[in-house]
Each structure stands twice: as C-alpha cells, then as structure tokens.
C-alpha cells in the first residue's frame, strides 16, 4: 500500500511541478515536429528493497525547446524492471504544451539507472497513446535520441484524427 501511495503521490507531483506556461506561448501542432529537451531535474527513487531493485524509478523534468524558444515541459517516470539483459526501464512521458499534452510510453535500456548526471547515448522509441487539447485523440510515435556529446532531441510523428 505504501508503494502505491508513494507512486501516486510522485506522479501527481510530476504533473503539477513548476509554473504553468503562458497561454500565448507557441506550441506545436499535430504532425511531425522536433523538440530539444533540456533536463534540469533528474532523480532516482530507491523504492522497495534497499539498493538497485525492480520497482525503483527515475524521474526527469525537462524544458522543451523549439528554435531556441521554450514551448513546453516534459515529465518522465521510468520504472526499473527485472531483466536478464541489463537495466530495463519502462516509462511514461507527458509533454505539456500551452495548447495541450501528449502522453507516450516506452522501454529504455540504461547503463546505470541511479546515475542522475546525464542520459546515455542512444535512441528510445515510444508509442504516443493519447493527448489533450490540440492533441486530443493523438496517436503515433516519438523517437528520443541522445548523441555522444549528450545533445538530445525528441522527434514526434503524431496524428490526431
């Protein structure tokens, strides 16, 4: 019960952390677009058994930038899963824009889930499973890429029909 309460509380805090975007800020629309996430808060929560174990989670909050302008914010919660192939995290990401939100879920293989300093080089493909506002009925994909130098970009390809 404690774990369920902690998870629900943490997700609630992720959704309501930080100031809201101004309503006149430009946001993307359905279709294909690229945002550059600038992570400013990465945390690791040691949940359940002490030390790295299934059920631990990583929380990430990022500003979303297009052409140098902050157009949104993203909130990600990845949960460490048991795996024979290293560290596997399943994650839910919420991209919040002034004109609506986009929700995606996916799987990531990470070298060290407790490392809060950076993202590993590579790509993560996730399914866009819904949205609100301008992104109501959203479906499609998002590919998050991190280069060797740590630069990140998320490429959305979504339909809202």
Quick one: tokens of 72?
A: 């949104």
pTM of the predicted protein model: 0.75
Sort 128 into a burial class: Cβ within 10 Å, 0-12 / 13-18 / 19+: buried
* 2-159 CATH choice from 3.40.640.10, 2.40.480.10, 3.30.559.10, 3.40.47.10: 2.40.480.10
Residues above pLDDT 90, as percent of the chain:
39
Asked if the model's pLDDT at residue 37 lies above 80, the reply is: yes
What's the number of CA atoms in the CB half-sphere (13 Å) around residue 19?
A: 5
Quick one: tokens of 39?
A: 């992570």
Residue 77's CB is within 10 A of a number of other CB atoms, namely 19
- Give the pLDDT of residue 108: 81
Average pLDDT, the chain: 78
What is residue 11's DSSP assignment? H
What is the average pLDDT across 15-19? Answer: 40
DSSP per residue over 27-79, as a string?
A: ---SEEEEEEEEEEEEEEE--SSSSS-TT-EEEEEEEEEETTEEEEEEEEEEE
3-state secondary structure of 4: helix
pLDDT band at 113 (very low <50, low <70, confident <90, very high): low
Measured distance CA(76)–CA(144) in Å, rounded? 12
- Give the pLDDT of residue 119: 60
Q: How far is CA 71 from the centre of its chain?
A: 15
What is residue 20's DSSP assignment? P
Asked if the model's pLDDT at residue 43 lies above 70, the reply is: yes
Give the range with max mean pLDDT: 47-56, 64-73, 74-83.
Answer: 64-73
Residues above pLDDT 70, as percent of the chain:
77
Cβ 87 vs Cβ 17: under 8 Å = no
What is the average pLDDT across 110-133? Answer: 78
């Amino acid at each position: 019960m404690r774990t369920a309460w902690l998870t629900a509380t943490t997700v609630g805090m992720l959704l309501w952390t930080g100031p809201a975007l101004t309503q006149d800020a430009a946001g993307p629309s359905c279709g294909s677009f690229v945002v550059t996430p600038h992570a400013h808060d990465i945390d690791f929560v040691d949940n359940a058994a002490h030390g790295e174990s299934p059920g631990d989670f990583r929380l990430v909050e990022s500003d979303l930038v297009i052409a140098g302008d902050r157009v949104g914010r993203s909130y990600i919660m990845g949960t460490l899963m048991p795996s024979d192939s290293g560290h596997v995290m399943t994650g839910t990401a919420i991209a919040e824009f002034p004109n609506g939100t986009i929700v995606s879920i996916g799987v990531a293989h990470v070298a060290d889930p407790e490392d809060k300093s950076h993202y590993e080089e590579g790509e993560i493909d996730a399914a866009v499973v819904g949205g609100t506002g301008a992104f109501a009925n959203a479906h499609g994909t998002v590919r998050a890429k991190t280069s060797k130098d740590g630069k990140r970009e998320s490429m959305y390809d979504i339909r809202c029909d």
